[in-house]
Structure 1
Amino acid sequence: MADMRIGGLASGMDTDQIIMDLMKAERIPLDKMEQKKQYLEWQRDDYRDMNKMMFDFSNLIFDGVMKHGTYTQKSVTASDSSKVSIQNINSTTDLSGTIEVGSLAKAATIVSEDTGIVDPKATLSTSMGLTGTQKISIKSILKDGTLDATGKTIEFDPATETLNSLISKINQQTGVSVFFDEQSKKLSVTAKNTGDAAGNDIVLEDLSGTFFETLRLEETPVNSANTFTGTRQEGANASFTYNGLTTTRPSNTFQINGFEITLKGTTTTPITFSSKPDTDKILEKIVKFVDEYNKLIEKVNGELNEKNYRDFKPLTAEQKEAMEEKEIELWEEKARSGTLRNDSVLSSAMNKMRVDLYTPVSGGTSGTDQLSQIGIKTSSNYLERGKLIIDEAKLREAISKDPNAIYEIFGKDGATSGEQGIARRLRETLKDTMDSVEKKAGKASSTNNTFSLGRLLNNMDNQIDRFEDRLIQVEDRYWRQFTAMEKAIQRSNQQSMYLMQQFGGGM
């Protein structure tokens, strides 16, 4: 049973207020612990913000200046784009010349006579009189212009299968597309790939049953009375003359020297074409890299040099109650300042990144091995702490002259750091830095015991819990002492009243 607490009834003192004031003094060490805990949490969050920014920058490097495809972007022009279109796929060199289109590639088709089918939604046993398990084979031309010797097989039960459902299966599972026209009652079969396979480009066969034979679409039916009566149009290859060389392709879209060419129509006069680096798109990626690099080093250097206001400690809950919201915001802005000041990991990263940028890239084939050669240099203003500046005219000229040389500066791979491109070096430095920061501050999914600041926070929580238990004991002790005093005063008062009564009674 808890001791009864007696206020200042006998002494006339405000015992509650006195004990509250005494406890304020006792709480000072606890307030300092909570302030330290808050500061550690701020520091942890600021480290994580740094890691998030470095992670985003590393991804931007990977998707931008380090990717070979960034530098193969080209603008291609053709004198008649309605007949021929050309786009670069993976070529690092340019192309130019003429092309004449003699004929376009066509897909093979087979069209049946009137099938007599009235309702394509009825079962095939009803609409075509088929019985027993049916198994069909469909062979068609492949993308490379050869016939698929294996083909695709489909098995079905006429009692449950309809023409519509079978057509759906054929269209999904084979290299042909089938269409039934309810108006003419005819069935068309079209190869999905164009080209001439030097023979039948579509081969329809009944492996069991008589589906194709009944439609008179099978070349070698069992019943000779049901011989093929459909209309067959074999596929055709595209024929064209490229820079004086006449050749063919099974498709109207094909690649030559890393460029994709699409034939759209026949020509009567040669079409001229040429390509050149898409300077604007390549420049855009490099400018984005420089902008984000500048933002990163500005942020990190700002944190490293941010002033630490030692007189501004994190506010306690009691202090916040006595302040306006704007006052709290301004106070905490200074209290939080300098959490990463002079941090060795971040400082080392800044130094290493500068080395990454300005160490020449060795082993290249272009003779270009430094950023300054393509118009990127460091700001002469020392206050900007290594900010990169772009000479756009010089960079454009370098891109137009040799995009591959730009790629080697940024993305070249190599066995040593000196042989690697700047982008690869930077990503390695960023990775090492993020790993070190994570050991200090963890990440959102980390538990406290897996990183150093988290272990400190756990320790602080334990200290706070122990001290709060101690404060409860101290407060109880104060109350016991004041209660004892009140009881003593009360007894003294009672004795005084008794004596006064005794003295008064004898007069």
Structure 2
Amino acid sequence: MPTRVSGLVSGMDTESLVSAMVSSYTAKVDKYTKQQTKLSWTQEAWKGLNTKVYGLYTSISGLRFSSGYSLQKASVSDVTKAKVTANGSAVNGTQKLNIIASAQTAYMTSADLSKKYSGTIDSKTELSKLGYDVKDEDGKPVAAKINITTKDEDGNDKTTELSLSGNSTVKDLLDGLQKAGINANYDATNHRFYLNSKKTGTEGDFSVTAAPGDENADALLAAIGLNTQPEGAEESDTTNYATMVKGVDAKIRLNGVLYTGNSNTFNINGLTIEALGVTGDGDENAITVNTQTDTQGLYDKIKDFLSQYNSVINEITKLYNAESSSGYEPLTDDEKDAMNETEIEKWETKIKDSLLRRDSTLSGVMQSMMSAMSGTFTVNGTKVSLASYGIQTLGILNSAKNEQNAYHIDGDEEDENTSGRKDKLMTALSANPDEVVDFMKQLTTKLYDAIGEKMTATELSSAYTIYNDKQMTKQYGDYTSIIKQWEKKVTDKEDFYYQKFAKMEAKLSELQSQTSSLTGILG
């Protein structure tokens, strides 16, 4: 807005006069700005609620199918020998299990290097200090080659050649072993290299040997302590020679059938069995695995569903029954200047809390959800509802404010309203879990479809949206255009009146000049 200097001759407060003269136009700007602000707040309120409703919608999607309730639990008679878990495909009953052997990783421990070198050995130590210091006629270090043999993905031998000289360091050796597929490190406390396979079982077997035809390879292996004791030795010498332990496959017998694997974990017919200790073979050494329906797990799944539903329906009920904010409108900048921050926040919160009060779209969503939850379904020829399992609302007289549509489970120890009642849900789950699951599948399907219908895309709304977001976006844009039009009208009228006052000031200035001249002539 340009800076205007006016009223210098007339002495009038031109700005106040012009402001008053265009007040009908600025009132229009304020009116539409407030409406746009209120619409923006309404969009935010709907967006937040829509996120919660969509979250409920997606979470109950899986509850429409049996797989959503496939909860089994397994127990084992000796937890020191095996750990067993069950998934939904596991068969209820008792089974015999033998842990014949647990999987072991292949290991190689070097000779004691303190016998070869009395100094400190670290990653920078050269192999010449450990005893490999072969040089040619010119005094240059001669490299020796060793082979590291491991298993590839198909179980075939894979050999990697590692070349080292006296100038090579302990780090060079460790890096080469790692690249060849072997975990390796040096323990300075015990003065030994420790090698182990990256795989358990026989698939992880490896070897470190002299490369064929390399006359210096044996000397290199001896220097780094990875030489193995000659065959036929009467006693094991772990001080001067490396010790090799081969990998061992795990073996278990379940119901008389033998299973072998390179891991201690077996997945068999819905059971995940982790071998922890050896029992021995034979029926006399067998431990038992008992599998049954996890009724507590089913109970918790149903309770979690109800908790999420209650959270959403309570929010909807609160928004729908909000107190009226009649007489409250978004504040203009001038109105905010007359209030402190606390007063502004309280004023705006009053409006925001009431934005969806008695909203017809919100009412439709609420009624659809409540209707689905109160439905009756046929299970094994019998009509059942949530109330059949002791799940019901408390009613408006017995519930907290805006929680009259929430469901409570009779006998729920965590619910002070119903904890003293008989637990029908757990009784039903214990007696016949399949019937309860059948009912829950039908109930959640109806609720899922009811919410899905409200989220159907239309010309006024986007997909998975329960309110007319497209319509509101268009309305917001329309307000922007209208506000700009009225702001231009304000500016045009201000310019018009300022021009009029400027002309008046010019005439007054001219008259004042003529009067001064006449006065001077008449003396």
Q: Which residue of 2 aligns with 1:82?
A: 80
Map 1:124-143; keep pairs closer than 5 Å.
Answer: 127=132, 131=143, 136-139=148-151
| 1:461 maps to which of 451, 461, 480 | 480
Deviation of residue 38 (structure 1)?
A: 1.0
> Structure 2 matches for 1:19-418, cutoff 5 A?
19-58=18-57, 60-61=59-60, 68=67, 71-72=70-71, 74=73, 76-91=74-89, 93-97=91-95, 99=97, 101=99, 103-108=101-106, 127=132, 131=143, 136-139=148-151, 149-158=155-164, 164-168=171-175, 170-171=177-178, 174=181, 177=183, 190-191=196-197, 195=201, 202=206, 214=218, 234-236=246-248, 242=254, 245=256, 247=258, 249-250=260-261, 251-267=263-279, 271-306=287-322, 309-336=325-352, 338-341=354-357, 343=359, 345-357=361-373, 371-381=386-396, 386-391=405-410, 392=412, 393-401=423-431, 403=433, 406-410=436-440
For 1:472, the equivalent position in structure 2 comes to: 491
**C-alpha contact (below 8 Å) 1:100/1:267 kept by paired residues:** yes
Amino acid at match of 2:477: N
Alpha-carbon deviation of 1:228? 10
The Cα shift of 1:96 comes to: 3.2
Instruction: Give the counterpart letter for 2:478 in structure 1.
Output: N
> Per-residue CA shift, 1:144-165, capped at 9, x if unaligned?
xxxx532444344435865654
Distance apart, 1:139 and its partner CA: 2.8
Distance 1:473 1:487, change over 3 A: same
**Deviation of the 1:297 alpha carbon:** 1.8
Shift of 1:403: 4.9
Name the CA distance, whole Å, in 2 between partners of 1:135 and 1:349: 72
Q: Which amino acid aligns with 1:288?
A: D
CA deviation map 1:455-481 (0-9, x unaligned): 333332333233323322322222232
Q: RMSD of the alignment, in Å?
A: 5.1
Match of 1:448 in 2: none
Determine helix, strand or coil for the equivalent of 2:164.
coil
Percent identity at matched positions? 23
Instruction: State the distance in 1 between where 2:29 and 2:448 align.
Output: 49
Shift of 1:48: 1.4
Instruction: Indicate how the Cα distance of structure 1 residues 308 and 423 shifts in structure 2: closer, same or farther if over 3 A, else same.
Output: closer
* Alpha-carbon distance between aligned partners in 1 of 2:369 and 2:509, rounded to the nearest angstrom: 78
In structure 2, what is the Cα distance between the partners aligned to 1:83 and 1:429? 53
Name the amino acid aligned to 1:376: I
- Unaligned regions of 5+ residues in structure 1, if any? 143-147, 218-224, 413-417, 443-450
List alignment gaps of at least 5 residues for structure 2.
135-141, 222-228, 234-241, 413-422
Under a length normalisation based on structure 1, what TM-score does the superposition of the two structures give? 0.70
In 2, distance between residues paired with 1:494 and 1:238?
115
- Indicate the SS of the match to 1:339: coil
In the alignment, residue 270 of structure 2 is paired with which amino acid? G
Q: C-alpha separation between the residues in 1 aligned to 2:326 and 2:476? A: 20
Q: From the superposition, tell whether residues 206 and 30 of structure 1 become closer, same or farther in structure 2 (CA, over 3 Å).
A: same
The one-letter code sitting in structure 2 at the alignment partner of 1:457 is Y
Cα distance, 1:317–1:96 mapped onto 2, change above 3 Å: same
Change (3 A) 1:303 1:184: closer
Report the CA distance between 1:346 and its aligned residue: 3.8
Query: How many residues align structurally?
Result: 469
**Which among 503, 509, 513 is matched to residue 484 of structure 1?**
503
Provide the C-alpha distance between the structure 1 equivalents of 2:504 and 2:425, rounded to a whole number of angstroms.
87
What is the CA distance between 1:272 and its match in structure 2? 4.8
What secondary structure is seen at the aligned counterpart in 2 of 1:9? coil
In structure 2, the residue matched to 1:447 is none
Matched residue SS, 1:296: helix
Note closer, same or farther for the CA distance 1:368–1:499 as it changes in structure 2 (3 Å cut).
same
Deviation at 1:379, TM superposition (A): 4.9
Q: CA deviation at 1:313?
A: 2.2
- Taking structure 1 as reference, are residues 208 and 89 closer, same or farther at Cα in structure 2, changes over 3 Å only? farther
Distance in 1, matches of 2:83 and 2:433, equals 23
Contact 2:107 2:194 in 1 (8 A): yes
Pick closer, same or farther for the CA change 1:287–1:212 going to 2, 3 Å.
farther
- Residues in 1 aligned to 2:454 and 2:158: alpha-carbon distance in whole angstroms: 52
Separation in 1, partners of 2:146, 2:444 = 63
Q: Which moved more, 1:347-356 or 1:487-496?
A: 487-496
- Whichever residue aligns with residue 50 of structure 1, its letter is L
The Cα offsets for residues 402-451 of structure 1, whole Å up to 9 and x where unpaired, read as 555555555x6xxxxx7984575477457548845759776xxxxxxxx4
Aligned to 1:315, the other structure's residue is in SS state coil
Whichever residue aligns with residue 56 of structure 2, its letter is: F
Query: How far 1:293 sits from its partner (Å)?
Result: 1.2
> Which residue pairs with 1:7 in the alignment?
7
Q: Is the 8 A contact 2:132 2:219 kept in 1?
A: no
User: How far apart, in 1, do the equivalents of 2:383 and 2:219 lie?
Assistant: 69
SS in structure 2 of the partner of residue 260 of structure 1? strand
**TM-superposed deviation, 1:128:** 8.2
| Alignment CA distance shift 1:305-1:293 (3 Å) | same
Structure 1: distance between partners of 2:391 and 2:276:
43
Offset at 1:44?
A: 1.6
2-structure distance, mates of 1:430, 1:154: 64
Deviates more, 1:258-267 or 1:162-171: 162-171
- 1-side partners of 2:210 and 2:362: how far apart? 73
Rate the CA distance shift 1:203–1:211 in 2: closer, same or farther, 3 A.
farther
Aligned to 1:221: none
TM-score (norm 2): 0.68
The CA deviation at 1:50 is 1.6
Gap change, CA 1:201 and 1:41, over 3 Å in 2? closer
Provide closer, same or farther for how the CA distance between residues 211 and 464 of structure 1 changes in structure 2, counting only shifts above 3 A: farther
